[in-house]
A and B are shown apart, each in its own frame.
Chain A
Amino acid sequence: MESCNEAVVVQALTYQYHASGPFILRDIGFRIDRGEVVVITGLSGCGKSTLCLCISGLIHHHRNGVISGKIILNGKDTRGMRGPALALEVGMVFQDPDTQLFSPAVEDEIAFAPENLCLPPEQIQERVNNVIDTLGLAALRHANPYYLSGGEKHLVALAAVLALDPPVLILDEVLSQLDSLGKKRVIATLEILRDKGKTIIAVEHNLEALAFADRFMVLEAGKLIRFDRTEKILADQDFLMTRRLV
């Protein structure tokens, strides 16, 4: 029985994209409480994005790799959950926003998920307006996402996930293409969401960018090598240097 305060529980998670391929994740296990902000970091190729895809349930249902272990979101095992049920528990912003934007206008993109949850029109409109205001997207409301810049696309992808209002939010390097104003807006939004009890998991290479996080998780070659309080990790320069993270 998992504690009711745990938003994400991962047990003995191992994953290969192909049966004959290398292990991308090896025996990963951790627990994240509700309302926690956790940063996942590590050298590129260490398995950060794959871990995010596993937590979001996408690996279980949309990839043909070899997975073992267990992922529990808010007390529910993701193996038994399908798309709509997963969408109510977790929302993910991918590293490449082009892979998740498809609507002809920004406001349609943001409204898409709430519409598919069959929310009343006035509630959909309220959610769309709220995230547009929060992320400063008013000028792009009617723009075609295809023609936006990389940073703008990332903001729209984030807005579309925020409109779902999931209890667990996964962000895969969303800050990397944002200008300083965009970064400030996103960080301020994450702090508000944290205060509202949302659980946030963010992949980030810039260790100082999300220094307000509660804990940092460090992956190396598919293994979880450290999961500790933010201040402890950031103060441990020997560890960061040895692992080539700074």
Chain B
Amino acid sequence: MFLELRQVGFSYPQKTSPAVIGINLSLKKSGITAIVGPNGSGKSTLTKLMLGILPASEGQIYLEGRNITEYSLAEAGRRIGYVSQNPDLQLFCASVAEEIAFGLVNQGCDVATLEERVNFYLDYFELAAYRKSFPLHLSQGEKQRLAIAAVLANEPEYLILDEPTNGLDAYRKRLLEEYLHKVAELGRGILLVSHDIAFVDRMAERIIALANGQIQSDSNQRGEGYLCY
């Protein structure tokens, strides 16, 4: 199992009720899984626990058999690519091209591969015109595409995308869907968090519904159980 959560709970400071509670969950290294649920049900918190960004208050989380607490954030980040709900929080380079290249440079990628991948992602996500632009000057939809491109360029073993369709128009949403299907076909796993039920329905083969920080259903059946969210 790639990720395993055992009786995981977490509470934010100053909050009386826990954000997630008693989560038992196993995720394989392949396939597309979606987490759905009402606002405030603990979806984003759960993904941050999986990455070790937040420390679990209760229970244990294992990434490839090792406790997540034994990984540095960089080690976990090399295995799991993460796009947060708000792209502003993860864009920090001086230009769009540098943002896409950042992870590759830090992995010691050779120059030819680096250029090839940066150009590919700039073209695929239609960001080539903004190659030299400052990322935080882009529109919200462009920032979202850039954050996704920067993570995909690293080709991590597993992807966690929190509300990836936010700010995307219908056409860019289709491009993202096609690309994620290709990633999944290569045997890499994807975990989506989304309120976009049509997107979830087209993408996910397993759907986990959360409510009040607990798993309400975990199903391979599309269009059932989670539509109320």
**Chain A positions near chain B (C-beta within 8 angstroms):** 17, 42-45, 48-49, 95-96, 98, 140, 143-144, 147-152, 155, 173, 176-182, 205, 244-246
Contact across chains for A245 and B171 when beta carbons are under 8 A apart: yes
**B228 within 8 A of partner (CB):** yes
**B163 within 8 A of partner (CB):** yes
**B222 within 8 A of partner (CB):** no
Contact across chains for B38 and A181 when beta carbons are under 8 A apart: yes
Interface positions, chain B 35-60, Cβ under 8 Å from A, are 37-41, 43-44
Residues of A within 8 A of B228 (CB): 180
Residues of B within 8 A of A178 (CB): 39, 195
Residues of B within 8 A of A48 (CB): 139
Once A42-B169, A150-B85, A150-B163 are accepted as A-B contacts, the answer to whether A177 and B140 lie under 8 Å apart by CB is no
| CA gap between A140 and B14 in the complex, in Å | 12
**B137 within 8 A of partner (CB):** yes
Instruction: List 25 A-B residue pairs with CB atoms under 8 Å apart, sorted by A's residue number.
Output: A43-B141, A43-B171, A43-B172, A44-B139, A44-B142, A45-B139, A49-B139, A95-B167, A96-B86, A98-B88, A140-B40, A143-B15, A147-B13, A149-B40, A149-B41, A150-B44, A151-B39, A152-B39, A152-B40, A176-B163, A179-B229, A180-B197, A205-B169, A245-B169, A246-B170
**B166 within 8 A of partner (CB):** yes
| CA gap between A173 and B163 in the complex, in Å | 14
CB distance from B169 to the nearest CB of A (A): 5
**B120 within 8 A of partner (CB):** no
Contact across chains for B169 and A96 when beta carbons are under 8 A apart: no
Once A45-B142, A95-B167, A96-B86 are accepted as A-B contacts, the answer to whether A179 and B172 lie under 8 Å apart by CB is no
| CA gap between A28 and B37 in the complex, in Å | 40
Residues of A within 8 A of B86 (CB): 96, 98, 150
Contact across chains for A96 and B195 when beta carbons are under 8 A apart: no
**B179 within 8 A of partner (CB):** no
Contact across chains for B141 and A44 when beta carbons are under 8 A apart: yes
Contact across chains for A179 and B195 when beta carbons are under 8 A apart: yes
Pick the contact of A149: B39, B141, B172, B229 (CB < 8 A). B39
**B12 within 8 A of partner (CB):** yes
| CA gap between A182 and B39 in the complex, in Å | 8
Once A95-B140, A151-B195, A152-B39 are accepted as A-B contacts, the answer to whether A43 and B166 lie under 8 Å apart by CB is no
In chain B, what residue has the closest Cβ to A45? B139
Contact across chains for B195 and A205 when beta carbons are under 8 A apart: no
